[in-house]
């Protein structure tokens, strides 16, 4: 056993190289350099630290300093400089092999992590095997997990500054709490234990700031391997919903928006409602879109005409005229509580299905 706990096998042939080089002052041969690189690779794969390995080489150089090297001699064969040059070459080749193995290990780890994330979020692979692989990345899939997804104005990759800054903030705040942060299709994805909502809340805050005002959606906590997929899909659906409905909130929770999936679950029924309640608006000058926008803003303003008019940059009189026109065309009065519910539901359906831009 060499110094620093490094086994002698990782110094095998090193003393012979020094002894062979000292008399002639030659450089290491290609085979000698190759052998040192391969030794460095094996040492890296065995998990030994590079600092300890270099220290072991220097200690071995002192122990096996060639007797043919003349102390104080600076030039030519048998000089101290020739031995030091050989040590430098040997250690450099060893470190090169070590670093090459480390880079390969990192690439393999990144590839394994990416493959695991793809399998996890898409529900691929055997659940039992997936749960085993999850423990390697700090997740215990037998528990509940919730998924948050953040998107910004540009797509992100794991190596970008934004994901790294968010991850550093999470680690600095919570340490290792079985949290997995990654990117998927240009978005930030955070998987956290379902009983720790503060983690995803903090992620949402950091992601909103790092993406310069992006949007974050948080799925509901779900148990098991399939629960991660469900929570992830919920978060994606919420992001899509927010875009369709022009929702302004920077952080959206799937649990707060469950009414929308319910409304669109029966697409045929919703299509019939939209066409029945709003179809007559297509007969208006300019088509149905301006009047649907008017209804949208009117309902969002709590059916307060003055506020709706302000948001639409209209006079209250002009807004009132539009509402009367809607009443005349559809037979439904937006100011009437009974009619209002039908119209508002139809408007939501139209926005979700992008009608009338897309015909049924």
Question: pLDDT (tens digit, 9 = 90+) per residue, 205-243?
Answer: 999 999 888 899 999 999 888 888 899 999 999 999 888
Q: How confident is the model at residue 81 (pLDDT cuts 50, 70, 90)?
A: confident
Instruction: Judge contact between 131 and 90, C-beta under 8 A.
Output: no
Crossing angle of the two packed helices 127-136 and 224-245, in degrees rounded to 10: 80
Which one has a higher pLDDT value, 136 or 93? 93
Please enumerate in sequence order all residues whose Cβ is within 8 A of that of 343, keeping only pairs 6 or more positions apart, or say none: 277, 278, 295, 299, 326, 330, 332, 334
Percent of the chain exceeding pLDDT 70 equals: 94
Q: What does the pLDDT read at residue 304?
A: 92
Q: What does the pLDDT read at residue 24?
A: 80
Mean pLDDT of 291-313: 93
H or E segment to which residue 150 belongs: strand 144-151
Mean pLDDT of 294-311: 92
Question: pLDDT (tens digit, 9 = 90+) per residue, 123-171?
Answer: 777 777 777 777 777 778 778 999 999 999 899 988 888 999 998 999 8
Which one has a higher pLDDT value, 259 or 38? 38
Buried b (16+ CB within 10 A) or exposed e, 58-73: eebbeeebbeebeeee
* DSSP per-residue codes, 241-264: HHHHHT---SEEEGGG-THHHHHH
Instruction: Judge contact between 91 and 57, C-beta under 8 A.
Output: yes
Mean pLDDT of 45-68: 87
Output DSSP code: residue 70: B
Percent of the chain exceeding pLDDT 90 equals: 42
Instruction: Judge contact between 228 and 184, C-beta under 8 A.
Output: no
H or E segment to which residue 144 belongs: strand 144-151
Crossing angle of the two packed helices 30-45 and 50-63, in degrees rounded to 10: 130
H or E segment to which residue 145 belongs: strand 144-151
Please enumerate in sequence order all residues whose Cβ is within 8 A of that of 41, keeping only pairs 6 or more positions apart, or say none: 97, 98, 100, 101
Output DSSP code: residue 75: S
Question: pLDDT (tens digit, 9 = 90+) per residue, 103-120?
Answer: 888 777 777 778 888 888
Q: How confident is the model at residue 67 (pLDDT cuts 50, 70, 90)?
A: low
The beta strand positions in 167-255, using DSSP E, are: 180-184, 187-193, 215-218, 222-223, 251-253
- The three-point CA angle 14-19-25 to 5° equals 110
Q: What does the pLDDT read at residue 74?
A: 47
Q: What does the pLDDT read at residue 328?
A: 93
């Amino acid at each position: 056993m060499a110094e620093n706990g490094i086994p002698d096998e990782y110094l095998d042939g090193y003393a012979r190289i020094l002894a062979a080089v000292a008399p002639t002052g030659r450089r290491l041969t290609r085979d000698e350099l190759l052998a040192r690189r391969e030794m460095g690779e094996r040492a890296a794969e065995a998990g030994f630290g590079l600092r300890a390995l270099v220290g072991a080489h220097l200690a071995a150089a002192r122990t096996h300093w060639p007797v043919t090297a003349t102390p104080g001699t600076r030039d030519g064969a048998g000089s101290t400089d020739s031995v030091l040059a050989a040590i430098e070459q040997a250690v450099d080749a060893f470190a090169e092999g070590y670093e090459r193995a480390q880079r390969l290990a990192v690439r393999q780890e990144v590839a394994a992590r990416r493959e695991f994330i793809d399998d996890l979020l898409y529900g691929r692979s055997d659940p039992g095997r997936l749960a085993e692989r999850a423990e390697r990345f700090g997740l215990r899939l037998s528990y509940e997990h919730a998924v948050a997804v953040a998107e910004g104005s540009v797509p992100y990759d794991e190596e970008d500054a934004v994901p790294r800054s968010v991850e550093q903030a999470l680690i600095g705040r919570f340490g290792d709490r079985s949290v997995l942060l990654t990117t998927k299709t240009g978005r930030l994805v955070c998987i956290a234990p379902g009983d720790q909502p503060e983690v995803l809340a903090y992620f949402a805050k950091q992601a909103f700031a790092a993406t310069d005002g992006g949007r974050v959606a948080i799925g509901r906590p779900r148990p098991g391997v399939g629960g991660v997929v469900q929570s992830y899909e919920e978060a994606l659906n919420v992001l899509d919903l927010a875009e369709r409905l022009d929702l302004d909130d920077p952080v959206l929770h799937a649990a707060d928006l469950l009414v929308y999936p319910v409304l669109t679950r029966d697409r045929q029924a919703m299509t019939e409602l939209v066409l029945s309640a709003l179809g007559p608006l297509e007969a208006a000058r300019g088509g149905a879109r301006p009047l649907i926008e008017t209804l949208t803003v009117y309902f969002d303003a709590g059916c307060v005409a003055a506020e709706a008019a302000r948001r639409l940059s209209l006079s209250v009189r002009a807004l009132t005229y539009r509402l009367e026109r809607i009443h005349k065309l559809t037979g439904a009065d937006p100011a009437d509580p009974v009619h209002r519910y039908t119209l508002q539901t139809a408007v939501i359906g139209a926005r979700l299905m992008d009608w009338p831009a897309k015909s049924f």
